[in-house]
Amino acid sequence: MTSVVSLTAPRTIVVEELPDAPLGAGQVRIETLYSGISAGTELTAYRGTNPYLHKRWDAARRLFEAGEAPSLAYPVRSLGYEEVGRVVERAPGVEAPAVGDLVYGTWNHRSQHVADAAWAAARVLPAGLDPRCGIFSHIGAVAVNGVHDAAIRSGDTVAVFGLGVPGQIVAQLARRSGARVIGVDPIAGRRDLAQALGTAQLTLDPRADGVAEAMKDLTGGRGADVAIEVSGVAAALNEAIRAVAYSARVVAMGFMPGEARGLQLGDEFHHNRVQVVSSQISGVDPAASYRWDKPRLAATTIALQAEGILDLLPLISHTFDLADAAAAFALLDQRPEEALQVVLRMPGAEA
């Protein structure tokens, strides 16, 4: 049987036992070791605010349509997109990946997964890398994509609004690109971690500091060259717009469900010709689309960890057994100041 995390209603998590998927021709079976929980997009589903639960996404027209049957219905068994596991079985004739290889990817919070062998072979974790590094392949791809959309130049002052997991990765990438990074987050522990890891030279508390005013003071009145908003909070996006220089770029990375109250588009956005760019993992910058895609973004995240350029394991704050998945989600939902990257440990990790 396969253990699967299922959302049966808002804020209601159970672990179901479902029949194992059969192994077909050209496929491999992967035993999951670890699965990371996203504190952004995934929590919107957990809280019942995700638009897919209330509207239908028309992929052909790229429109959300109200009044239609929603794209997602309870029970939702598609939570989770940060997985790593071990190949335990191959269909006859499959030569790669090998049994025992560690594979990263997206297959939801479940104890095992059946995948095409070619797909899995392209996602083998480098030898010697801690298996937990594999959970960052997708959320890291989101961060790399956002940094690409930001078009950061060496020497830029980059303001990162939101120092959760994707914000921490964005800050590390920007710093390694030669930028001066200023992190903004109301949670002291997240600000401290960014500075301890050497990825933010300075951090600001938006509850205590006038962030836009401080950014102007720190840059001789100019403002940040780039701001990347990762928290998904409308007020933070508005402050990011206020904090950048004339004709600068703000990247809106954070998933912001519902109405974006707090945006004052007649103020600095209008007067300073600020460019606001949406960054979302379903697509890359069209100018780079002939050479960059989502698999390359994910592989880059893994490679940068293997090379020691990204240091992401310190972002893991809690590890729960799969049986305690409900408590893991409740922690992120109710006490976000205590947690950063929360990981579910599958039974296979204990072998």
Residues 101 and 168 in one domain: no
* Contact predicate 349/343, CB 8 Å: no
- Is 137 part of a structural domain of the chain? no
99-116: b (≥16 Cβ within 10 Å) or e:
eebbbbbbbbbbbbbbbe
Q: What is the pLDDT of residues 56-110, one digit of tens each?
A: 988 888 888 887 788 888 999 999 999 999 999 999 999 999 999 999 999 999 9
- Residue 65 sits at φ, ψ, to 5 deg, of -115, 115
- Is 301 part of a structural domain of the chain? no
CA angle 23, 140, 315 (to 5 degrees): 105
pLDDT at 211: 93
Residues 318 and 250 in one domain: no
d(CA 243, CA 211): 7
Question: Any idea what the CATH number is for the domain that residue 232 is in?
Answer: 3.40.50.720
Residues 148 and 258 in one domain: yes
- Is 298 part of a structural domain of the chain? no
Residues 119 and 220 in one domain: no
Residues 30 and 75 in one domain: yes
pLDDT at 324: 97
The kind and range of the H/E element at 162 are: none
* Contact predicate 224/244, CB 8 Å: yes
pLDDT at 350: 66
Residues 117 and 80 in one domain: yes
Residues 173 and 272 in one domain: yes
Question: Any idea what the CATH number is for the domain that residue 99 is in?
Answer: 3.90.180.10
- Is 305 part of a structural domain of the chain? no
Residues of the chain falling short of pLDDT 70 = 350-351
Residues 236 and 279 in one domain: yes
- Residue 93 sits at φ, ψ, to 5 deg, of 90, -10
pLDDT at 256: 77
> What single-letter amino acid sits at 188?
A
Which range of residues forms the domain containing residue 257? 143-286
d(CA 36, CA 274): 35
- Is 134 part of a structural domain of the chain? no
d(CA 230, CA 254): 4
The partner residues of 316 in beta bridges, in order of sequence, read 341
* Contact predicate 340/170, CB 8 Å: no
Q: Give me 153's structure tokens.
A: 């130049």
**Number of domains the chain is built from:** 2
* H-helix segments, 210-340: 211-218, 234-243, 268-271, 294-306, 325-334
d(CA 346, CA 234): 36
- Is 300 part of a structural domain of the chain? no
- Is 104 part of a structural domain of the chain? yes
Residues 234 and 174 in one domain: yes
Residues 168 and 278 in one domain: yes
Residues 160 and 224 in one domain: yes
pLDDT at 106: 96
Q: Give me 30's structure tokens.
A: 């992967």
**Three-class SS of 11-79:** CEEEEEEECCCCCCCCEEEEEEEEEEECCCHHHHHHHCCCHHHCCEEECCCCEEECCCCCCCCCCECCC
Residues 166 and 112 in one domain: no
- Is 28 part of a structural domain of the chain? yes
Q: Give me 328's structure tokens.
A: 């893991």
